[in-house]
Structure 1
Amino acid sequence: MNTPSQYDCPVLTNQILATDLDGTLIPLSDNPQNTADLPQLAAQLQSHHVTLIFITGRHFASAQSAIKQHQLPQPDWLICDVGTSIFHRQPDGALQTVDAYADHLGEIVAKMPIDELKQHLSTIDGLRLQESEKQGPFKLSYYADAAQLDPLVEQIRKQLSQTAAPYSIIHSVDPFNGDGLIDLLPSGVSKAHALAWWVEQNDLHQDAIVFAGDSGNDLAALTAGYRAIVVGNADRAVAQQAYAAHRAAGWENRLYLATHPATSGVREGCRWFGLVDREEALPQKLGATPIGDQSTHFRVWAPDRSRVEVEVDNGQTTITHALQLDETGYFTGIVPEAAANARYQYRLDGGSVRPDPASRYQPEGVHGPSQIINPRAFPWTDQNWPGVDKRDLVIYELHIGAFTQAGDFQAATAQLPELSALGVTAVEVMPVAQTPGQWNWGYDGVNLFAVRNTYGAPDDFKHFIDACHAAGMAVILDVVYNHVGPEGNYLTEFGPYASTKHHTPWGDAFNYDEPGSGPVRQFVIDNALFWLQEYHLDGLRLDAAHFIKDDSRPAIVDELRRDVSRFAETVNRTIHLIAETNVFDQESLNDQVDRLAFDGVWCDCLMHAIYAHALPDLRIAHREYLAGDLAEALQHGFVYFGRDEKRIEASQRQDLSRNAQGKSYIESFIIGLQTHDSVGNHPQGQRIHQLTSKAFQKAAAALTLLYPGIPIIFMGEEFAIDAPFPFFVDFEDATLKQAVDSGRAREFPQHVWGDFLLPSQSDTFYQAKHDVPDRRDEEMFAWYRDLIALRKQGLADGWLSADRMTAGYDPQADIFFLRFRQDSATEIIVQTRLTGPSKSPGEAVTIPTEGTVLLSSAELPQTDDKNITLHPNQVVISKN
């Protein structure tokens, strides 16, 4: 590899790569791609006349050996001995010490040369001098037992302090042999210090340098203001610290987090910063995709337009670039002056300017410009996250805006320890796609790839997800593919995104089945995969799946299931695809030709049956539920069936269970005591304990949390908070505001709406904030925590399953029950009495128990050895 041309006298160029060796430029021993990439990287660095600096903790001889052993390109400069020596390559290829740097270090340690320091430290037992070749005129190195490393370092620090020695200490454990390593260096000197001195001596600007590293020893250089590459094998803490430092300093586009390890990651970063050739293949993603630190590829589908230009505001000037139209209606192009975080818009046929249909961020809302987002900028730490199996899901549904007083991703992240303590294993986030106005439930999204600007930036949502994974919780996102919101929806100005034959009550239906609709279908599928891939989500919930209208075959929902399933096979975490069907739709859970089953469906029958039992006059669903439905719902999991939401008789439910070969389908039902719909559809957004009592909530919660479906808890339920959750929405269009306010009143005419807060009023949103400490019932929290813990124990022991359950109602004792067969002699029995405010509470009843009471929602008066008293709105769980 060492060709004669490499020994010409080095000339400093304006493109400089400074790289660590071990773990960075040197190929990893078990990575053949690294080995293959090294000669290609070396050749391209040479052809692009890139000045090459090696910066290593190795001593000079070791660095030379590594260059020869791994056939590294010859560096123009070599910084070694942990930054205490600098060498410059001469025309004959030899590396010569830079005397000026030695003089610089000599000035630092003038009052105590290295030999004098050695004498001071000779009194410390346990220090062993390293080999002579590892010492230097400005570096003193010792071995130590790893177990004694920290105490010895502390002794050295005291000695340095007592003698005012101008030295600093670094220490580590050798990962190969376990030896403790201690280096004494001139005060403030490091690899980063040496590089900074070299930059200053050569009168260079920081932007001329690209530094690549992998470890904590490289962190100072990675955060010194140079353009920086963190290779993919770096400890995630290093990536996070580098990211945080760049963000705090306000540096944009100076940090590249490589996906590939070591050599391949260096090559990847060099491509990004333009030091070597970039990949020839252009991204096929919709929207703005950065392909380098200063250039972006744009792609938009606009078959109804003859000309599309992208206008990029880079903070100082606006650049207009014409995109090229292909035969399929896509406009594409690369803009060299467009860097990540710049804002842009599309000008259509020389007229109106519009945000990108696939915008990743709308910092000024739905009518403003889009922002270029670098999808690789976030330092994920969840590489080993396995996800959560379906059987282990305990879902907590939340709305980012109402979950905390601040109403953003950062504040939500701070609340995660509390959810973890509750026993939650998955967080389901109501839609975060960009909607108009200042507040919204989320179902009026018009920029489906962009997180809502009031919640934070894309990286803030990623941080929330990463933190959830670190806490052992999956994250499921609610997505809306049945319609697009009414304000800020500019899709139809680009192409035939909207259906001309299907309609929804909420906005334009997507065009999934008319001629030329293929790109619309791909748009939606790309969106689903985008959330899963770029945001590391663990699943999606398809809102109102029965309203995703498509007469073609395979239908868009089937294609979506297929592609999500294919994606799931490529990752090492469990992916869940959930449909909101509201009732039991058996087809959604069955694998068929050209379609795959959903992992779960929202089935609200049990929840509404509980409401109907307690509050027979309340109507919060379009389906009718009767007071007597609860027993059937407990036994079979549903009351209504199929896409047409047909109410079926008990005998038909029995037949369906037999045809399904048991009741295992129940384990795919998402079942809650409350959801955003059940609370929000009440005129005042009241919660179940406000409509009944806290005792009723406790008793009813046992039926849902210990049911063999997948439990879901709506935010605040665990504390029985009094904050309402009414429907709220904001539009900038006054006509839309008025239409929604009046339409909401018509939606549930059976209620007396009176002077209730209207959806568009600010108080409607701000009263929904749920994290108010004095509204919290800690006793309710403890009850939910205990129920969830018992549920997990039941899953571990095997008794909490649909096939081991019998359920029903004892009219004589007025008790609803769930019985789980643990083995031939043991049962777990949930017995509850539910009495709503419209009913007489009745008398306490005596129930037999010959086993152990596991949980009770109220104090248990014992009548004798074999009987206990069960009061109205009380539940007892026992093991008999």
Structure 2
Amino acid sequence: MGVTRSIGAEFTRDKGTVFTVWAPEAEQVEVVLVHPEKRKIPLQREAFGYWTGLAEDAAPGTRYFYNLGKDLQRPDPASQSQPDSVHEASEVVDHSSYNWQDKNWKGIPLEQYIIYELHIGTFSEEGTFEGVQKKLPELKDLGITAIEIMPIAQFPGSRNWGYDGVYPFAAQNSYGGPEALKSLVDACHQQGIAVILDVVYNHMGPEGNYLFDYGPYFTKKYSTPWGQALNFDDAHSDHVRNFFLQNALMWLRDYHIDALRLDAVHAILDTGAKHFLKELQEHVEQLGEQTGQEYILIAESDLNDVKLLNPMEQGGFGLAAQWMDDYHHAAHTLITGEREGYYEDYGEPEHLLKALQHSFIYNGIYSEHRKKTLGTDATANPAKQFVVCIQNHDQVGNRMLGERLTKLVSFEKLKVAAGLYLLSPFTPMLFMGEEYGEENPFLYFVSHTDENLVEAVRKGRKAEFSAFAWKGEAPDPQSEETFRQSKLQHSYKQNEQQQKLREFYKKLINLRKTSPTLAKASKEYLKASFDSDHKVLHLIHYGQKPFIYCLFNLNDQAQETSLEKEIGDSWEVLLNSADTTWGGTGTGNNSFDQQNGSITLQPESLVILQSKS
């Protein structure tokens, strides 16, 4: 592992605050304390262009800038708090003062993760960390075991998805800042819920990004959709890597975060001897040895490359898991019939069957959409390494009108869609509000202060939609109304149909936890087939008894289908989505003929059978 060193403002009670910043091209650097009293402290230059100095009286709450000479005054790139915006002074934070109550928390293994992705600003009425904390009992009741928080690194203004963050170490001030985030994590652990934080190491946001003033954080070797690439392998890259390694370790160590979701790792461009992700995994494992915790890294990648997941001794990076877009796309196209844009590569039942058996659909075959061969074979990788969903922030929010599945398919199909991934062998992830059929959209929103930038964002969004046959006008990302429309209504308590859908989700999640074969689901003990005459998917989990047999009728008419005989022939109905209990119209009479091994499925329904012996 490369040498790492602390950066930023590090406060300790016995000696004060040590300020450290990497600015290799500066001739002199001062820390400028601006509150509670104004004064300047020259920093000493050390090896590789680090500057450091001690301010014994700089207590938590002290506001400061760095003076880089020639009247260039900038916030700290490793600031842990920006209480007044991305352009104003940084604030000293004391991580030792929080009184953690999660001493008995040891985390949960990846195979027990049932993830709930949420956006802090739109999940609760308050739009804060505290607002999420108040709703944890509802998530616990649903059966959620992990929340995944969309990025909270300080961004401009108060409204943003989070991918425009410019201070990776600072918890967004409008969400409540560092202490409120710790309180949320602490409360999660007391409810038995793990916390995944979405972090962005592939680009920086445009407004408030002052890294160019400090040094070669970016390289001209590559370009990305967001401009110059971060410098992970060019001259001086050791120290850029250190910046992000320190960031990851801070979230895990100081905020007790359990797992990091690494955004778009295919855009972390690194041809060095040791890829940044591999080095990150090594450091995270080392921290785990020191703390006695197991930390999990989950990648988002569109390359379908098992190198991310394979053990280091096999030449891989050793990450725990990755998002699997293939599964979402295969399920979405079957459920909705959409085939535009990147969905053109999907839409046949065989795609879903292949995903269930081999994980990656594009595993070394030609992609018509990309016009190139894509992917590697993931058959040997355990199912738990793949995070699957039917909705997430990207797949909903990157639609022009931000429609959730609720607006695209019938109520009955929502239940079928839920089963397609909650009953798969993979690690499931819900998107906030999905469990009760939230009707508000999840739109793309920002609150930049630069008008030219706002206009560029508007144009960029319109260009993104050109490959799809969506009708209508894209909402203005800068408008506060766009943000307000995206807030969850949590309306299920007043809406009987939504309440029934939520109970259905709760039932599926509980079944996944309590059924011996679903709790240890695997691709090896899974039989998947498709009755193309009747558009019925058969899914049998037979790892441990009692076996679970899932039947998905994707047809809008009732269908009779024959059960597979090889696994067993004695079954009982465990759940039928068409029951009135779940908001259905009823199951009809004699739908299950045990003797003949046939079953009649109501239109757009899911039936789960359990073996009797």
Normalization by structure 2: what TM-score?
A: 0.90
Q: Secondary structure at the match of 2:308?
A: helix
What residue number does 1:518 align with?
238
1:768 aligns with 2:491: no
Match of 2:603 in 1: 872
Match 1:358 to one of 78, 91, 95 = 78
Q: Deviations over 1:822-865 (max 9, x none)?
A: 45x85310001124xxxxx2343355684211111112334165
Q: Is the 8 A contact 2:17 2:54 kept in 1?
A: yes
Q: 2:557 — aligned with what?
A: 842
Match of 1:633 in 2: 355
Match of 1:602 in 2: 323
Question: Displacement of 1:717 after TM fit?
Answer: 0.5
Residue 314 in structure 1 maps to residue 15 in structure 2:
no
Q: Is the 8 A contact 1:434 1:445 kept in 2?
A: yes
2:299 pairs with 1:579: yes
Identify which range, 292-301 or 784-793, moves more after superposition. Answer: 292-301
Residue 557 of structure 1 deviates from its aligned partner by: 1.4
Matched AA of 1:533: R
Q: Pick from 55, 62, 67: which aligns with 1:342?
A: 62
Q: Find out whether 1:736 has 2:453 as its counterpart.
A: yes
What is the CA deviation profile of residues 198-248 of structure 1, one whole-angstrom value per residue up to 9, with x for unaligned ones? Answer: xxxxxxxxxxxxxxxxxxxxxxxxxxxxxxxxxxxxxxxxxxxxxxxxxxx
Amino acid at match of 1:477: L
- 8 Å contact kept, 2:185–2:255: yes
> 1:463-482 alignment to 2 at 5 Å?
463-482=183-202
**Count of residues in correspondence between the two structures:** 583
Residue by residue over 1:666-723, the C-alpha shift from the partner in whole angstroms, topping out at 9 and shown as x without a partner, is 2210001111111112111111121011211101211200111100000000111101
- Is 594-603 or 381-390 further displaced after alignment? 594-603
Relative to structure 1, is the Cα distance of residues 714 and 446 closer, same or farther in structure 2, using a 3 angstrom cutoff? same
2:12 maps to what in 1? Answer: 291
1:778 paired to 2:507: no
1: CA distance, partners of 2:78 / 2:367: 35
SS in 2 for 1:536: coil
- Say if 2:474 is the partner of 1:756: yes
List per-residue Cα deviations over 1:721-764 (Å, max 9, x = no partner). 10110121221111111111111111120244533312222111
* Secondary structure in 1 matching 2:459: helix
> Radius of gyration: which is bigger?
1
- How far did 1:795 drift? 4.4
Residues of 2 paired with 1:496 and 1:616: CA distance?
A: 47
In the aligned structure 1, how far is the partner of 2:589 from the partner of 2:558? 16
Alignment of 1:696-845 (within 5 A): 696-749=413-466, 750-752=468-470, 754-773=472-491, 777-795=498-516, 800-822=521-543, 827-835=547-555, 841-845=556-560
1:95 alignment partner in structure 2: none
Aligned mates of 2:277, 2:170 — CA distance in 1: 22
Quote the Cα distance in structure 1 between the aligned partners of 2:134 and 2:278: 37
Asked if the contact 1:310–1:323 (Cα under 8 Å) also holds between the matched residues in 2, the reply is yes
SS at match of 2:169: strand
For 2:303 and 2:11, the matched residues in 1 are separated by: 43
Question: Residue deviations 1:563-604, cap 9 Å, x none?
Answer: 112212222333111110146321112113475411101001
Aligned-pair CA distance for 1:339: 1.1
Q: Structure 1 residues 511, 581: closer, same or farther in 2, change over 3 A?
A: same
CA–CA distance in structure 1, aligned partners of residues 306 and 406 of structure 2: 32
Map residues 640-679 of structure 1 onto 2, 5 A cutoff.
640-641=362-363, 656=377, 660=380, 664-679=381-396
CA change 1:311–1:548 in 2 (3 A) is same
SS of the residue 1:568 aligns to: helix
User: In the TM superposition, what are the counterparts of 1:107-506 in structure 2 within 5 Å?
Assistant: 284-292=5-13, 295-315=16-36, 317-506=37-226
Question: For residue 689 of structure 1, what is the aligned residue in structure 2?
Answer: 406
On the 8 A contact 1:861/1:868 being kept in 2, the answer is no
| Greater Cα shift, 799-808 or 441-450 | 799-808
Distance in structure 2 (CA, Å) of the matches to 1:783 and 1:766: 28
Q: Give the deviation of 1:352 after TM superposition.
A: 1.9
Q: Per the alignment, do residues 586 and 644 of structure 1 end up closer, same or farther by CA in structure 2, a change over 3 Å counting?
A: farther
Task: State the partner residue of 1:92.
Answer: none
Moved more, 571-580 or 625-634: 625-634
Work out which of the residue numbers 321, 332, 335 in structure 2 matches 1:611. Answer: 332
Judged with a 3 Å threshold, the aligned counterparts in structure 2 of structure 1 residues 372 and 645 are, in CA distance, closer, same or farther, namely: farther
Which structure carries more relative contact order (alpha carbon 8 Å, separation 6+)?
2
Structure 1: state its 5+ residue gaps. Answer: 1-282, 836-840
Tell which deviates more after alignment, 628-637 or 741-750. 628-637
- Matching residue's letter, 1:861: G
Distance apart, 1:782 and its partner CA: 0.4
Across the aligned residues of Structure 1 and Structure 2, the Cα RMSD in angstroms comes to 2.4
Compute the TM-score of the two structures, normalised by the length of structure 1: 0.63
Cα distance, 1:322–1:645 mapped onto 2, change above 3 Å: farther
Distance 1:753 1:739 in 2: 22
Q: Secondary structure at the match of 2:439?
A: coil
Evaluate the alpha carbon distance shift between residue 719 and residue 690 of structure 1 in structure 2; reply closer, same or farther with a 3 A threshold: same
Pick from 577, 589, 613 the counterpart of residue 857 of structure 1: 577
Q: Deviations over 1:401-421 (max 9, x none)?
A: 111121000111001000000
Distance in 2 (CA, whole Å) between partners of 1:431 and 1:312 is 29
Query: d(CA) in 2 for partners of 1:793 and 1:517?
Result: 48
Q: CA deviation at 1:400?
A: 0.5
Assess if the C-alpha contact under 8 Å between 2:218 and 2:228 holds in 1. Answer: yes
Question: Alpha carbons of 1:826 and 1:346: their partners in 2 closer, same or farther (altered >3 Å)?
Answer: closer
Report the residue type matching 1:496 in the other structure. P
Aligned counterparts of 1:590 and 1:429: Cα–Cα separation in 2:
26
The DSSP-based 3-state class of the residue aligned with 1:581 is coil
Identity among equivalent positions (%) equals: 38
What is the letter of the counterpart of residue 588 of structure 2? Answer: P
- Give unpaired runs (5+ residues) of structure 2: 564-568, 580-586
Q: Secondary structure at the match of 1:388?
A: coil
Offset of residue 292 of structure 1:
2.8
2:78 is paired with a residue whose SS is coil
Deviations 1:487-511 (A, max 9, x none): 1110110110011112211244211
Given that 1:585 and 1:643 are in contact with CA atoms closer than 8 Å, whether structure 2 keeps it comes out as: no
Classify 1:383/1:643 alpha carbon distance in 2 versus 1 (closer, same or farther; 3 Å). farther
The verdict on how the C-alpha distance between 1:645 and 1:498 changes in structure 2, with shifts beyond 3 A counting, is farther
State the distance in 2 between where 1:493 and 1:789 align. Answer: 52
Which residue identity is paired with 2:171? V
Q: Alpha carbons of 1:514 and 1:793: their partners in 2 closer, same or farther (altered >3 Å)?
A: same
Q: Is the 8 A contact 1:356 1:370 kept in 2?
A: yes
Are the counterparts in 2 of residues 304 and 493 from structure 1 also a CA contact under 8 Å?
no
The one-letter amino acid of 2:353's match is A
Q: CA deviation at 1:342?
A: 1.1
Which residue type is aligned with residue 691 of structure 1? L
SS in 1 for 2:67: strand
